[in-house]
Structure 1
Amino acid sequence: MTDLLTDALPTMWEGRRIDPDFRHMVWLLNTYRRAETDEEKVQLMRDAAERFFAEPVSDPQLPDAFASLMRFFRGCADDAPGGEPPEADAGAGEITLDYHCDAAYVLGAFQQAYGIDLTTDKVHWWRFMALMQALPQETALSQILQIRTTDTSEMDPATRQRYEAAKERYALPPELKGGARDVTPQQHDAAFLARFR
């Protein structure tokens, strides 16, 4: 990976010009778990390549180009393994952040902590991820992520009850936790909104 402090962030990746804006990677993360069929996965690869690479990628080049995109996603060099889907990094644990459901918290955190308006500013994906990792605890997003990931098993009953209530309030929709999968963005949104009815 590039040294974030001393090297220019890449706008060329493995011989191809790219658009390194964070929006493409967020789109990929939000879209990936909806792709169920092989046809949908191929279309996802096409759409991702079209968003990320400056020049068109032919179908025969698509698997290699998508593997290259995934190495960029992870910040790896071209000789590192790659090409696995974004969720492969998540491990077996629950998803604690969803850029679709948590969009307002992400926007607010960047505005609060860094004065960056993610609705208008272009931010390189690697810079975006570095800033995400360094968000101060004072942001609502950091506090929500802490609530979602806190182990309550060793807490006294009163504290556990408060944390469990907070976990329920800020829980992601069940389909994001390995349950039923969404077929459409509308179903995803409906499942999320149903929690508040």
Structure 2
Amino acid sequence: MKQNPFERLPDTVEIDGAAVRVDPDFRIGVAIETELLTGEPDAAGLLTAFYPDGIPDNVEAAAEQMMQFYAHLDGGASDGQASHSSARLYDFTQDADALMASFRQAYSIDLDTAPLHWWKFRRLMFGLPPETPFMQRVHYRAADITKLPKEQRKHYRKMKRLYALQAAPKKKMTAAERDAEMIARVRKRAEQVQREIEQ
């Protein structure tokens, strides 16, 4: 049976056949994404934040499950929004104010205080109306200006410069490639942490 998209969102992952409690708050998901974009994520810090009852003994499986949860690889359909584009279109640090204003405008949700599950946050974020400040930034960043009239191209170039991401990755990759690379980096760091624990 396919997963019901309206079921209660999970707050556990399965590791070695046991359900392990996680912190599904969107702030943890944002921290994971932000940290992973640094190139050298603090795997121990991420795992500690994600597993409130302590990092499971099987650190590699814990890291893998954390990344699957972050990427919404739960065996069902993900929200899919991020996978359609190969370029980064937002940055949580750079777009924080626009995102907070957009959630307030569209949903009357205060991201400073709202308890939101990471998956629900992503669904809401990618479902923001086009007139919100966050989606306006995404629109300009994603726009293909090659077929626009000259005056419109001029305006779009200006807006693309205004909203350009400051810390773009060095190489372009699809969302799936990015997620696979992130999983590999966290897995490598988790193995290092496991070795340190065993010493």
Q: Is the contact made by 2:32 and 2:70 (CA closer than 8 Å) also made in structure 1?
A: no
Residue of structure 2 equivalent to 1:101: 94
1:92 and 1:155, CA in 2 relative to 1: closer, same or farther beyond 3 A?
closer
Residue of structure 2 equivalent to 1:146: 139
Q: CA deviation at 1:91?
A: 8.6
Residue of structure 1 equivalent to 2:61: 64
Identical pairs, percent: 28
Moved over 6 A (4+): 89-92
Q: CA deviation at 1:70?
A: 1.0
After superposition, the C-alpha distances for 1:68-100 in whole angstroms (9 at most, x for unaligned) are: 0111112223x79xxxxxxxx769833110001
1:92 & 1:146 partners in 2: Cα distance?
12
Q: Is the contact made by 1:94 and 1:177 (CA closer than 8 Å) also made in structure 2?
A: no
1:27 & 1:50 partners in 2: Cα distance?
12
Q: CA deviation at 1:177?
A: 4.0
Q: Is the contact made by 1:16 and 1:54 (CA closer than 8 Å) also made in structure 2?
A: no
Instruction: Provide structure 2 residue ranges, at least 5 long, that are not aligned to the other structure.
Output: 77-81, 172-199
For 1:95, give the aligned amino acid. R
RCO higher in structure (CA 8 A, sep ≥6): 2
Residue of structure 1 equivalent to 2:154: 161
1:2 and 1:55, CA in 2 relative to 1: closer, same or farther beyond 3 A?
farther
After superposition, the C-alpha distances for 1:112-153 in whole angstroms (9 at most, x for unaligned) are: 111111101110011101111211112011111101100001
1:141 and 1:155, CA in 2 relative to 1: closer, same or farther beyond 3 A?
same
2:50 & 2:61 partners in 1: Cα distance?
14
After superposition, the C-alpha distances for 1:32-59 in whole angstroms (9 at most, x for unaligned) are: 12234xxxx4xx221111111122115x
Q: Cα RMSD (Å) of the superposition?
A: 2.2
2:109 & 2:115 partners in 1: Cα distance?
9
Instruction: Provide structure 1 residue ranges, at least 5 long, that are not aligned to the other structure.
Output: 81-88, 180-197
Q: TM-score, structure 2 length as denominator?
A: 0.73
How many residues get paired? 161
Q: Which one of 48, 52, 55 corresponds to residue 54 of structure 1?
A: 52
Q: Which one of 169, 176, 185 corresponds to residue 168 of structure 2?
A: 176
